[in-house]
Structure 1
Amino acid sequence: MLFSAAAPPGGRRRNYLNESRQDPNPPQRTRRWIAKDRDNLTVISEFFLLGFQGSQYLRNVLFFQFLILFGATICGNLLIIVLVSTSKILHTPMYFFISQLSLSDILLTTNITPKMLHILLNNGGAITFTGCLTQFYFFGFTLNFVCFLLPAMSYDRYVAVCNPLRYISIMRSVFCIQLVALCWMMGFVGSLILTVPSSQFHYCGANIDHLYCDIVPLLKLACSNAFIVQIELYVIGSPFIFSQILIVVVFYTCIVLAVLRISTSTGRQKAFSTCSSHLIVVFIFYWTIVIVYVFPIKGQTSTISKVVSLLYTVFTPLMNPIIYSLRNKDIKKAVQQTLRKH
């Protein structure tokens, strides 16, 4: 009465239930019956991440590309954190928020990419049940944190542009620390809400057709009734994401209206330049999140889903320091001052 923990890609897996041999992909009727007869079902202790199934040459090319991107992401975000910590001209609320975004990008990248590189190199890879849920938890933790941080950064830009005379009194250091701490706490709680129910599921299979452990591929393997998690994901999660987007849109609408009232073109250009980088980051992040979790592309294959997921797990953490560095005079100045010192 045992489900095999993992199987090699393309291989067959044997499921034994009541000493009868079942098909590796049991029909829906059998899956429902298995979910009811939990006493005869052994919990799966290991999953197998399939990753990209293709030629060894293609996977080797992807491996070296992702390895370079991983190194560049870590170095770029560490550079932002070090500069904000050591350079006095960057000791402002905006750069404090940017350093926290870089910290979350490092956490996300180190949680996802090393295992992904192992999967590419070995045409798949096993991960323990506990390891899978741990990866899923920290993945959700960082995503939820960013969902709360981006509106906070929008509020910072709103106060700077629309109420500049009161900016220092409103965006005090204590207030900014409390705001970031609240974002981290909400990320912790939000991820916990999905991780705990997922750990209680019984799973009918062990092969996860994805690059890492995420809620959508896990739900596809669940034999148990996943209605509660689906409610949390679609009924609660979707309004939550759109509410964050709405907050950002409201703040930036006010910013645009305020900038248009500036009489000089130089003043308008300076005001827009402080917000354009943040808008690019917001658009890339929320666009990919909505496509994957809220409105999946119709007829979306597993390969398309994997490629889209790479946008916010690999490319967005890399793009954030590039966008803020290339479009920000203060960071360029801080880099120059640091190079002169050494």
Structure 2
Amino acid sequence: MQAENLTLWSFFFLEGFSRYPTLEMVLFAVSLLMYLITLLGNSTLILIAVLDARLQTPMYFFLGNLSFMDICYTSASIPALLVNLLSPQKTITFLGCAVQMYLSLALGSAECVLLAAMAFDRCVAIRNPLRYPVLMGRRTCVPLAAGSWAAGCLTALLETSLALRTPLCGRLIDHFTCEILAVLKLACARSLPVDTTMLAVSVLLLPVPMLFICISYAFILSTILSIRSAAGRSKAFSTCGAHLAVVVLYYGAALSMYLKPSSSGSQQTDKIISLLYGVLTPMLNPIIYSLRNKEVKEAVRKLLDKISGHQTHDSL
């Protein structure tokens, strides 16, 4: 019996989309393309935020953290998804499963808190523009960003340790990664401590930050509507609209996954939502933030000019 338990915990099978072999090839190509775009877009945002002096502001400090989180988050799951889609033996070791689960939870949770911090930053910038540089200095921005990372890492450690200590009656995970809800479906029996912890963490990291974001944007909207200048209103709406679009995309997918009844929906639907949550949103973040942002466009243009200038110099 001990040998059987040891074998059970030594590795898992990831079912992924193995029921649809044709779909796997399509998903591989699409996921690979989206992953490369994610790496390129978010790396570019981080690079210009570091190199361009005009972008070394609290807004771009938080945006750089968001981009780095997205790179790490997708790198924790997408390479494993790509291997899963191509490999005939869709297995993962217990240690690999634990690391993948922890990283996905930590980075996803940290992003929830960071988006709330970014909403606070926008609220201060629009309601108190004259005091903004003082109120949102390094002494405020660094603790907010560090708190986001710490909240994600600590809650993920709690959830992962509880999930992987739960007795499992099977090793076939009906998912393409070690997603915690898919793993817990293998539990031999429901555990009240695990269920309570999952619910408490989900509420703390989803509805609570989202409520804070909604309150922040209620203040922002009231301030924007009082601005007499049409150009000022347009600029404020443009900046805040980008952040709000990211919030809707991210929280919409997360809420539909983690705060729904466990009996509702099919596992296939959960996999599709996971793809939207884990691949599409990180890819769209830099596009949304740069699409109507003249500062980002100008910084990217300068970066490309520098690169082309160096290449011309090297060729001569």
Q: TM-score scaled by structure 2?
A: 0.92
1:93 maps to which of 45, 58, 78: 58
1:243 maps to which of 190, 203, 208: 208
Determine the structure 1 residue equivalent to 2:312: none
Structure with the larger helix share: 2
> Distance between the aligned counterparts of 2:69 and 2:299, measured in 1?
22
> Distance between the aligned counterparts of 1:275 and 1:3, measured in 2?
57
Query: Contact 2:41/2:286 (CA < 8 Å) preserved in 1?
Result: yes
> Distance between the aligned counterparts of 1:265 and 1:72, measured in 2?
35
Determine the structure 1 residue equivalent to 2:227: 262
> Distance between the aligned counterparts of 1:133 and 1:79, measured in 2?
31
RMSD: 1.8
Helix, strand or coil for the counterpart of 2:122?
helix
Determine the structure 2 residue equivalent to 1:318: 283
Helix, strand or coil for the counterpart of 1:48?
strand
Query: Contact 1:49/1:211 (CA < 8 Å) preserved in 2?
Result: yes
Query: Contact 2:127/2:223 (CA < 8 Å) preserved in 1?
Result: yes
Number of equivalent positions:
307
Query: Contact 2:14/2:173 (CA < 8 Å) preserved in 1?
Result: yes
- The letter for the 2-side match of 1:70 is Y
> Distance between the aligned counterparts of 2:90 and 2:6, measured in 1?
24
> Distance between the aligned counterparts of 1:55 and 1:189, measured in 2?
37
- The letter for the 2-side match of 1:264 is S
Q: Does 1:303 align with 2:268?
A: yes
Matches within 5 A, 1:141-220: 141-220=106-185
User: How far does residue 198 in structure 1 lie from its aligned partner after superposition?
Assistant: 1.7
- The letter for the 1-side match of 2:265 is Q
User: How far does residue 53 in structure 1 lie from its aligned partner after superposition?
Assistant: 2.6
* Alignment gaps of 5+ in structure 2: 308-316
1:132 maps to which of 97, 103, 115: 97
Q: TM-score scaled by structure 1?
A: 0.85
- CA 1:266–1:293 in structure 2 vs 1: closer, same or farther (change >3 Å)? same
Helix, strand or coil for the counterpart of 2:185?
helix
> Distance between the aligned counterparts of 2:39 and 2:102, measured in 1?
21
> Distance between the aligned counterparts of 1:142 and 1:224, measured in 2?
28
Helix, strand or coil for the counterpart of 2:24?
helix
Helix, strand or coil for the counterpart of 1:44?
helix
Structure with max Cα Rg: 1
After superposition, what is the alpha-carbon deviation per residue over 1:310-335, rounded to whole angstroms, capped at 9, x for unaligned?
Answer: 11111011000111111211110101
Helix, strand or coil for the counterpart of 1:204?
coil
After superposition, what is the alpha-carbon deviation per residue over 1:249-271, rounded to whole angstroms, capped at 9, x for unaligned?
Answer: 00000000000011122221111
- The letter for the 2-side match of 1:334 is A
Determine the structure 2 residue equivalent to 1:16: none
Q: Does 1:60 align with 2:58?
A: no
| Ranges of 4+ aligned residues in structure 1 off by more than 3 Å | 40-43, 296-299
